[in-house]
Amino acid sequence: MTVTTGDDRRFPAALAAVARIEFDYADGEGVDFEPYDAFDSAEETTDWIRHWTGNHELDGAAYRVFGQDGAGGRAALWCVRAGRPLAEQPVVFLGSEGERGVVAGGLSDFLWVLADGYGPMEAALDDELESCPDPSLAGLAERYATTPRRPVRDIVTEVRAAFPSFSDDLDALCR
């Protein structure tokens, strides 16, 4: 069951700082991430999740989309932790071809994922997860993160364990 935190669409300062970063795709060897400078509107998010699932009864209230990859997959905060602020909601990735995964347990850990050289798509789909630190993103994470620095592998393993049914729950929404 998905629980929302209301219609809070105020863009966190940490995501605004991420939006100012240009990620280098490096011909498929880098990070495929295009951050937004604001959340998609509620209407855009509803349209996207309905098309992604084929379920036109859904609304997008459970998601705050804040970026995409080059193929149109979306990175979002998933508002599943009742009563908790947006920064404490898990970060998820939903790819344009049905790929999906949880990326980080909250915005702070997501900053450490970026600092370790991974974008949302790579963290959600890659099982190797070897650290490739990015000094400029590490500096950004040091300024905004409220959790201690940890390797991407630890962050992703932890959030996958916390939300083991994420993929199955999405499948249940699909028509």
pLDDT band, residue 29 (cuts 50/70/90): confident
Determine phi and psi for 63, rounding to 5 degrees: -130, 145
The enclosing H or E element of 35 equals strand 34-35
In this predicted model, which residue has the larger pLDDT, 76 or 27? Answer: 76
Calculate what percentage of the chain has a pLDDT beyond 70. Answer: 96
In this predicted model, which residue has the larger pLDDT, 144 or 5? Answer: 144
Q: Give the pLDDT confidence score for residue 7 in this predicted structure.
A: 55
* Separation of alpha carbons 93 and 144, rounded Å: 21
* Separation of alpha carbons 99 and 64, rounded Å: 18
Calculate what percentage of the chain has a pLDDT beyond 90. Answer: 87
In this predicted model, which residue has the larger pLDDT, 9 or 154? Answer: 154
Q: Give the pLDDT confidence score for residue 142 in this predicted structure.
A: 97
The enclosing H or E element of 50 equals helix 42-53
* Separation of alpha carbons 22 and 25, rounded Å: 9
pLDDT at 101 exceeding the cut of 80: yes
* Separation of alpha carbons 106 and 143, rounded Å: 16
**Beta strands per DSSP E along 61-165:** 63-68, 74-78, 91-94, 100-104
Mean pLDDT, rounded, for 49-77: 96
- CA 27 from centre of chain: 22
Contact 149, 135 (CB under 8 A): no
Helix (H, G, I), strand (E, B) or coil at 29: coil
Q: Give the pLDDT confidence score for residue 139 in this predicted structure.
A: 96
Mean pLDDT, rounded, for 131-139: 92
Least confident range of 49-58, 106-115, 127-136: 127-136
Distance, first Cα to last Cα, the chain = 17
Question: pTM here?
Answer: 0.93
Question: Which two structure tokens, joined as six digits, stand for 84?
Answer: 């908790």
pLDDT band, residue 162 (cuts 50/70/90): very high
Mean pLDDT, rounded, for 75-80: 97
